[in-house]
Amino acid sequence: MSFDLVVLAVAADAGPAEVRMMSEHCTSGRHRDGELDERIVAFYEELRSRYPDYPPYEPESPWMSQPLAVGIDHVILHVTYSPRGDEAVTMIMELAQRHQLIIYDPQSDEITGLAGNPGRK
C-alpha cells in the first residue's frame, strides 16, 4: 500500500484552487517546458541524498515507484506505508518548508505550506 504526495513550486500568492489545478496538471503526465525551479532542484537533490531513487536501490526504500516523477516545478512521490515511509514524510515536510514549497496530498485534499492556509481545504 502507498499514498501520493505532490511537492510543488507555486507562486507566493497562489491559493488552494491554483495548487489543486497545478497538481492535476503535473500528475496528468503533461509536463511544462521551461527552466527548472531552483527550489525543486534543491529539494530533490537533498531528498535523494538520503533516500535514493536510482540504482542501487535500498532494500527498504520508502518509494513505491522509482525513479521519482520530477518536472521543472514539481516532484511526485509514491510513498510506502511503513516506518521508512514515515521517516521520509518527515524529511519531505522539513525540506519543503526549507525550500518554500507546497505539499499537496490528493488523497485527503490537504495542502501544507500555503501562506494563510496551513491545512485542509
| d(C-alpha 85, C-alpha 102), whole Å | 19
Q: Are 19 and 117 in contact (CB under 8 A)?
A: no
86: confidence class by pLDDT, cuts 50, 70, 90: very high
What are the sequence ranges of the domains in the chain? 2-112
| Residue 21 C-alpha from the chain's centroid | 15
Q: What cell does 39 get?
A: 527550489
Selected residue with higher pLDDT from 102 and 26 = 102
* Collapsed DSSP state (helix, strand, coil) of residue 98: helix
pLDDT recorded at residue 30: 72
Note the pLDDT tens digit of each residue in 61-80.
999 999 999 999 999 999 99
Identify the CATH class of 2-112. alpha beta
